[in-house]
Amino acid sequence: MTRPTARVLALLEILQAGGGFTVADLAGRLGVDERTVRRYAAHLADLGIPVEARRGRYGGYRLAPGYKLPPLMLTDEEAVAVMLGLVAARRAGLVTAEGAAAESATAKIRRVLPAVLARRIDSLLETVDFTARVRKSAPPGIEVLLVPAEAARHQQPVDITYTTWRGEVGERRLDPYGLVFHAGRWYVTGHDHNRRAVRTFRLDRIGTARPTPGRFDIPAGFDPTTQVLTGLAAVPYAHDISVVLHTSPEQAQRRIPPSVGTLTEVPGGVRLTARAERLDGAAQMLAGLGWSFTIERPDELKDEIRALAARLLTDTDA
């Protein structure tokens, strides 16, 4: 929701409290000037909401006496979809950091649902369990999320302040090609004017983002998701791994996402090149695939595979 729209709705919420409000009072509550208040009131009137204006030096606005907004009318299926969607967003780390947005939205919807339906949904949310773990999220600020998104839609450059993983803070000019949500984090990818190349940035490391004059074209066939996952796979880690998986390219591509590593068809199978911070995790991943494989490097990975096999045999014997 854009900030002007949010303030229009905030004006409506104030007026619903009842009584009349001067333009100056409303401007102070909303943090805007009096001319903007009048524009917001006209917008509400255009939506069919009976906003009455009082003329004179101390003029202001109020809702027509007896007017109440209609209740939120959702079918059972729609209400369940909305509530489960909010729960899923919290668990996936999808929501932003400014306030408990998902929690407050859930509470607001819960208050306006019919009592019987609300009780049924409460029962669902209290008894449901999930097999997927809760993502540890790194949510960005709402403006840092919305400004690049709008700029990507309108193909307009943005200026950002960015903190690298080394803690270095600098300014960048970016042509945002698209936003991607992956593993609890938001990313924006596009042409970095400073580096003169396509780069990917974590949104939670962006301090400010503001649109700047200009326009750009997105390269034909550019896929933001592929770019982000490929970039993540190339991030430096402690260990460089190369393994030949004895399976078909189709099977390998189905089971191994681009974020894990690069797949290349070779005689006898598919070569997986990847980077890993811990070799024991790489050993468990390879064992879980269920295919035979040949380790090309590093030799230490062979030791981890042997240790894993020994632990599995010991557990089986026990």
Instruction: Write out the two tokens for 169.
Output: 């803070």
pLDDT at 138: 67
Query: Would you tell me the crossing angle of helices 23-30 and 3-16 to the nearest 10 degrees?
Result: 130
State yes or no: cis peptide before 258, omega within 30 of 0: no
* Structural domains of the chain, with CATH: 3-63 (1.10.10.10), 76-127 (no CATH), 142-231 (2.30.30), 239-317 (3.30.70)
Strand ordering across the sheet containing 293-297: 261-266, 269-276, 239-245, 293-297
Q: What is the DSSP string of 230-287?
A: HHHHTS--SEEEEEEESS-HHHHHHHS-TTTEEEEEETTEEEEEEEES-HHHHHHHHH
Over residues 6-15, mean pLDDT: 81
pLDDT at 147: 93
The residues facing 171 across adjacent strands are: 161
pLDDT tens digits for range 257-298: 887 888 999 999 999 998 887 888 899 999 999 999 999 999
pLDDT at 21: 87
pLDDT tens digits for range 118-133: 888 888 888 888 776 6
Comparing CA positions, the residue from 259, 272, 263, 271 lying closest to residue 233 is 259
Residue 56 — left, alpha, or beta (φ > 0 → left; ψ -120 to 50 → alpha)?
left
Confidence of residue 3 (pLDDT cuts 50, 70, 90): low
**Cβ–Cβ under 8 Å, residues 292 and 270:** no
Span of 168-172, 177-181, 209-213, 238-242 with lowest mean pLDDT = 238-242
308 SS3 class: helix
Over residues 207-231, mean pLDDT: 92
Confidence of residue 107 (pLDDT cuts 50, 70, 90): confident
Tell me how far apart the alpha carbons of residues 159 and 175 are, in angstroms, rounded to a whole number.
Answer: 9
**Cβ–Cβ under 8 Å, residues 243 and 271:** yes
Confidence of residue 67 (pLDDT cuts 50, 70, 90): confident
**Cβ–Cβ under 8 Å, residues 67 and 18:** no
318 has a pLDDT exceeding 80: no
Instruction: Write out the two tokens for 308.
Output: 């894993």
pLDDT tens digits for range 173-188: 999 999 998 877 889 9
253 has a pLDDT exceeding 80: yes
Total residues found in the chain within this entry: 318
- Secondary-structure percent of the chain, ordered helix, strand, coil, rounded to 5: 45, 25, 30
